[in-house]
Chain A
Amino acid sequence: MTAELGAFALALALALSIAQAALSAAARVRRSRVFARAGEGAALGAFLCVLAAFVCLLIAFVGSDFSVANVANNSHTLKPMLYKVAGVWGSHEGSLLLWCLCLTGFGAAVAIAARALPMGLKSVTLASQGLLGVMFLAFAVFTSNPFLRMNPVPLEGRSLNPLLQDPALAFHPPLLYGGYVGFSLVFSFAVAALVEGRVDAAWARWVRPWTLAAWSMLTLGITLGAFWAYYELGWGGWWFWDPVENASFMPWLAATALLHSAIVTERRGALPSWTVFLALLAFTFSMLGAFLVRSGVLTSVHAFAVDPERGVMLLGITGAAAGAGFALFAWRAPTMASGGLFAPVSREGTLVLNNLFLAVAAATVLLGTLYPLMLEAATGDAISVGPPYFNLTFTPLMAAAMLILPAGPLLAWKRGDLKGVLQRLTWAAALAILAALVTLGLNDFRKAWGAAGVGLGFWLVAGALAEVAERVRLFRAPAVESWRRLKGLPRGAWGTTLGHLGLGLFVLGACVETGWKLETAHVVAPGQGFAIAGYDLVLQRAGVVDGPNYLAERGVVTASRDGRLACTVQPERRFFPAGRQTTTEVGLCFRGLSDLYIVFGERRTTADGRPGWLLRAYWNPWARLIFLGPAIMALAGLVSLSDRRLRLAPGKRKELSA
């Protein structure tokens, strides 16, 4: 019964989305408050219906109702509860339902929360959001219904891919979708701005909190995914330039550019059409990513539910939504006046450069992802575009952007004093160069790029701290005065500082981990061991253990340094009978910022003829920073979101300033 209720709720949500789009559009045309309120009600109703459908699917998964095909294909009675719940979004149909839940949820949030939004802007935003809802809900109802029954009912489900049965990956999709689909609202705001013909400071201030929220979720989602790959795939890789990773990274790059250009539009009224363009682009990349992942046009480690027919429909939706958005842009944008002139050397100038590099980087990732497809379609030749390509193109672009980054927040608006700013950054630059030289001195010239990366990381971290020092007049004003200023710093300023600090920590972690990672592997019997990075590893014992839905071989490995025990880890090799798959559970030994990463391999015979196991060990220096840095960036987004400026409605701000 729940499945039928769910299917009904989903169909009702589609009808309400149609009503939302029609009523909101009518409200704008007729300037009618009644229609506007009705449209808002429909938006709320559509969200509640999708929520009801989602809960129905959740009940089916939690209760292992295998008469529902989706549950039978993706769940199993022995699966731990967390993964039964995560199974809801573990398939194409379920994740599409989650997508629709976010889409209508953001629409309902605007309908309820944004009371001070001008009526016209709000109606058009809700109409656009409603149209997007119609397309995706129709797609769900007509091609990807998660509530289809199955007959005969199987006694046991086929289980979720064991690689995906992991806490980090259970929360990865909701965060990722919160980000992807959060940009749908930004897209709708952009459409509304184009229809209304006004892109000004007030509009930018309306859009920025939603962008910040979506960006923070996407940042956290991507980071969780990378962290999962790091410890689950069994060899310590965390980013592969895989098409599906690129699909999540392109919206992130566009949104990062948008966050920065929206600041310029909000504060100075400049770059309005570029900001609107990016707002359209972020969700276009999200939809393109959904198409790439779900259509099967790209082969990838993560691709799921590949179905060409659905792919064509998704391409249609992407084309229709993005096409309409950009057509509107081409028609309306040229009439929008740009305010706020500025000199090349100014805060606006550095933000424009930031956007230049981010936009070219996003275009590069797009090109690298699609080029093999385009070439094969055009000439029939199959080529691969892998990590070496992105390292040679994307990395230098980002490095250049990071070189100028610390100067940005220190420069004044309109016309900056470059000489003065560089003077204030002297100690940061000195620290960065020193760090690079020391790194180079401790190694040789083969590590020159790694050393440059370390220098760049220190430059970003020191630059972020220099910005705070500058804002509080550290050492230039009395300590009491600096303290008072520090306490009075707006949350938005802390957001900037934390975001840039997190980026610097990420760069440090990524460069040190990539440049100085060690690895070794030996076949050892219990009692035997080997050394890595100054640690002595010993396999103490090995045995077989039973998990809830798997069998495992587990090794107990101790790591000691100078005879003192550093830690004991229990890496496993798990076998899942339901899907006949094997996974590795690595043993992670935290050593400060670095990881000792131990993988328990297959049975082998040791050199002295005893039965043993292949034990692989990696030393991943500063690997923690790779995940800590982006986590700080996501936090920075939330801190910035809590700023008083963004919480105050623009209308109220006008009253305050008058």
Chain B
Amino acid sequence: MRRFLLILGAIGCLAAASDPTERLPDPAQEARARALFQQIRCVVCQNESIDDSEAEIAQDLRRVVREEVAAGRSDQQIRDDLVGRYGEFVLLKPTFSAANAVLWLTPLLLLLGAGGWLLWRAHRSPAPIGADALTPEEEARLAALTDDPPA
């Protein structure tokens, strides 16, 4: 039994960011630190933020970030420090830089492009009226076929 508990102990700490021994005394500072944790990657983990991770390095990074928050440094300064040490890889939210412009702008451009094309097409081909519209008899037959009450 003792061996089992020793192993359990060796597996390590199973507490993420809410660990009471890690927390800052000031709730406002703690909240700021927690918000930052969610934007910072646990660099050795597989796609986890340091807020969620139980890895040792995540624990260390949390301590560093909390110390910097307590020392009154701004979010941007803290992020810059981490990028200086680990590279951009450490940020879960990529910076808006020339290299990442494609990443950030593509969704918007796609939406505008495809939306614009749809609008242009709708504008070009006039709305169906007259001969193309269904007669009341056709409407009734369609409703009977599709089990829909006529709108």
Contact = CB atoms under 8 A, between A and B. Distances in A.
Interface of A: 234-235, 237, 240, 242-243, 267, 299-301, 303, 341-344, 349, 352, 356-357, 359-360, 363-364, 367-368, 371, 375, 379, 381-389, 392-394, 397, 412, 414-415, 471, 473, 485, 488, 490, 492-493, 519-523, 544, 551, 553, 573, 575, 580-582, 584, 601-603, 614, 616, 644-645, 653, 657
Contact of B149 (A243, A382, A384, A471): A471
B15 A384 contact: no
Q: How large is the interface on B (under 10, 10 to 19, 20 to 34, 35 or more residues)?
A: 35 or more
Nearest to B18: A521
B133 to A, nearest CB: 7
A551 B3 CA distance: 12
Interface string B98-139: 011011101100110011001100100101110011100000
Nearest to A530: B20
Contact of A386 (B14, B49, B102, B107): B49
Residue among A384, A521, A602 with most chain B CB within 10 A: A384
Given A388-B39, A573-B14, A575-B8, A363 B106 contact: yes
Contacts of B104: 393
A553 to B, nearest CB: 7
A551 B4 contact: yes
Interface in B84-106: 87-94, 99-100, 102-104, 106
7 contacts: A234-B14, A301-B47, A379-B99, A384-B91, A389-B92, A490-B148, A603-B9
Nearest to B144: A657
Nearest to A237: B52
A384 B94 contact: yes
A485 B4 contact: no
Contact of A383 (B8, B15, B89, B110): B89
Given A352-B118, A383-B91, A523 B20 contact: yes
A389 B47 contact: no
Contacts of A551: 4
B21 to A, nearest CB: 8
A381 B103 CA distance: 14
Contacts of A388: 38-39, 92-93
B84 to A, nearest CB: 15
B71 interface: no
A302 to B, nearest CB: 9
Contact of B94 (A383, A415, A575): A383
Contacts of B91: 383-384
Given A235-B52, A341-B125, A414-B133, A553 B8 contact: yes
A384 B107 contact: no
Q: Which 10 A-B pairs have the closest CB atoms?
A: A386-B92, A388-B93, A343-B127, A341-B128, A490-B147, A382-B89, A364-B107, A521-B18, A344-B122, A582-B11
Contacts of A603: 5, 9
A480 to B, nearest CB: 15
A378 B64 CA distance: 32
Contacts of B38: 387-388
A236 B76 CA distance: 28
A575 B41 CA distance: 27
Contact of B46 (A299, A394, A415, A493): A299
Nearest to A644: B147
A59 to B, nearest CB: 34
Given A341-B132, A412-B151, A601 B47 contact: no
A237 B14 CA distance: 15
A389 B94 contact: yes
A78 to B, nearest CB: 16
Contacts of B127: 341-344, 415
A301 B48 contact: yes
A345 B70 CA distance: 56
Interface of B: 1, 4-5, 7-9, 11, 13-16, 18-20, 38-39, 41, 46-49, 52, 87-94, 99-100, 102-104, 106-107, 110-111, 114-115, 118-119, 122, 125, 127-129, 132-134, 141, 145-149, 151
A32 to B, nearest CB: 35
A296 to B, nearest CB: 11
Given A240-B47, A582-B8, 4 more contacts: A359-B114, A384-B91, A523-B20, A582-B11
B145 A363 contact: no
Contacts of A653: 145
Contacts, number: 167
B18 A360 contact: no
Given A364-B107, A382-B87, A300 B14 contact: no
A414 B41 contact: no
Residue among A300, A412, A614 with most chain B CB within 10 A: A614
A82 B12 CA distance: 30
Nearest to B123: A344
A625 B90 CA distance: 33
B128 A387 contact: no
Contact of B7 (A352, A393, A575, A602): A575
A360 B41 CA distance: 27
Nearest to B89: A382
Contact of B14 (A382, A485, A582, A645): A582
B83 to A, nearest CB: 10
Contacts of A341: 125, 127-128, 132
A307 B141 CA distance: 59
B4 A575 contact: yes
Contacts of B133: 414-415
Nearest to B41: A384
Contact of A360 (B20, B114, B151): B114
Nearest to A244: B47
A602 B128 contact: no
A425 B18 CA distance: 44
Contacts of B1: 544
Nearest to B111: A360
Nearest to A553: B8
B103 A368 contact: yes
A587 to B, nearest CB: 15
A363 B93 contact: no
A364 B106 CA distance: 8
A284 B115 CA distance: 24
A575 B11 contact: yes
Given A383-B94, A397-B111, A602-B9, A519 B47 contact: no
A551 B5 CA distance: 10
Given A235-B52, A368-B103, A385-B103, A645 B16 contact: no
A242 B15 contact: no
A616 B11 CA distance: 18
Contacts of B9: 602-603
A381 B95 CA distance: 13
B131 to A, nearest CB: 11
A645 B18 contact: no
B130 to A, nearest CB: 11
B111 A584 contact: no
B49 A521 contact: no
A375 B99 contact: yes
Contacts of A520: 18
A368 B106 CA distance: 10
Contact of B15 (A368, A386, A544, A601): A601
Contacts of A581: 11
